[in-house]
């Protein structure tokens, strides 16, 4: 992965055990984001609006004694499909391994803004920020002026839980409970009200939460979400993946037992997976075939 030197702003590449401690930025994209190519000329890059938040993240990291920062806009060469695929498949782990994640809410003016401004932030409506919220151990939220709004595990816990529908135990991550332990349908419900610029990204942004790797096929559209569900079925016996509800987003000619889009899981925020206590109650193996779902269930 490439990291930004917080002192010189130079990019350096690291692999495996050589990766140093780093902070990571979570933000929503806007106009004039700085790209990997722009970073070759810092003078030119600094004239773009997106430069200020990268510079702010570096300053915040320096104040916390960290020499390196990762930012998705300029640390990935998005002109390389191979590099982009590797980055998207690795991103959950990159956020999880960070020392701290800075969530930058550009539409919240300052820490003096009412708490309602935090709830209404665009940051909570984007697909990619879901894994960025759940993967890091430590996460602090900042306003547009880099004043501190609070932390995920501290003062903002209730606001974040109410806004996202994610249970506090998954946000706190105390003991052995992690977001990845949640039932499939519940994780899908966290995504249900979010959007992405590219249609395919509504599936790709969930790879880390399901601990799945799959090729990226930009151009496949909403089929990416069906492909994601197929991959989940290959590694999971969680029947809640079938607990979606029909709504206006489902095409009239839809015949699959799999959901058409995440919005069909909107009402699954309290779904629980029930395991039987007798051998006869155990969930049977099932699979998707060319004729549909092959499964055995108790009657």
Quick one: DSSP state of residue 284? P
- How many of the other CB atoms lie within 10 Å of CB of 151? 16
Q: What is the pLDDT of residue 277?
A: 45
Which 8-state DSSP code applies to residue 35?
Answer: P
Q: pLDDT for 178-224, tens place per residue?
A: 899 999 999 999 999 999 999 999 999 999 999 999 999 999 999 99
Whether the full predicted model's pTM is greater than 0.85, yes or no, is yes
| Mean pLDDT over each residue of the chain, to the nearest integer | 92
7-36 pLDDT, tens per residue?
A: 999 999 999 999 999 999 999 999 999 999
In angstroms, rounded to a whole number, what is the distance separating the alpha carbons of residues 249 and 12? 44
Taking residue 201's Cβ as centre, other Cβ atoms within 10 Å add up to 18
How buried is 196 (Cβ within 10 angstroms: 0-12 exposed, 13-18 middle, 19+ buried)?
Answer: middle
Q: Is 69 helix (H, G, I), strand (E, B) or coil?
A: strand
278 pLDDT more than 50: no
Widest pairwise Cα distance in the chain: 69
What's the average model confidence in pLDDT over 39-68? 97
The helix or strand, by DSSP H or E, that contains position 294, with its residue range, turns out to be strand 292-294
β-sheet bridge partners, residue 69:
4, 23
Q: Tell me the Cα Rg of the chain.
A: 20
- Read off φ and ψ for residue 258, nearest 5 degrees: -90, 150
């Amino acid at each position: 992965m490439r990291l930004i030197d917080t002192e010189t702003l130079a990019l350096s590449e690291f692999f495996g055990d050589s990766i140093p401690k780093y902070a990571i930025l979570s933000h929503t994209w806007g106009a004039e984001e700085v790209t990997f190519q722009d970073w070759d000329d810092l003078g030119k890059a600094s004239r773009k609006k997106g430069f200020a938040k990268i510079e702010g993240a570096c300053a915040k990291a320096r104040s916390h004694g960290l020499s390196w920062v990762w930012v998705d806009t300029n640390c990935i060469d998005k002109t390389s499909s191979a590099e982009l695929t590797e980055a998207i498949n690795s991103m959950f782990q990159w956020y999880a391994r960070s020392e701290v994640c800075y969530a930058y809410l550009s539409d919240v003016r300052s820490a003096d803004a009412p708490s309602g401004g935090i709830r209404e932030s665009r940051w909570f409506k984007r697909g990619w920020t879901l894994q960025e919220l759940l993967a890091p151990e430590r996460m602090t939220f900042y306003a547009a002026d880099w004043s501190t709004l609070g932390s995920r595990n501290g003062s903002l816990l209730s606001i974040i839980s109410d806004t996202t529908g994610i249970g506090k135990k998954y946000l706190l991550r105390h003991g052995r409970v992690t977001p990845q332990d949640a039932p499939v349908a519940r994780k899908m419900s966290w995504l249900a009200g979010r959007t992405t610029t590219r249609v395919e990204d509504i599936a790709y942004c969930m790879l880390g939460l399901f601990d799945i790797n799959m090729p990226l096929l930009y151009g496949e559209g909403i089929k990416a979400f069906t492909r994601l569900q197929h991959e989940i079925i290959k590694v999971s016996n969680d029947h809640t993946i079938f607990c979606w509800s029909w709504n206006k987003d489902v095409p009239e000619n839809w015949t699959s037992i799999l959901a058409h889009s995440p919005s069909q899981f909107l009402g699954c925020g309290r779904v629980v997976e029930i395991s039987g206590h007798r051998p006869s109650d155990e969930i049977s193996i099932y699979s998707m075939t060319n004729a549909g779902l092959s499964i055995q269930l108790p009657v």
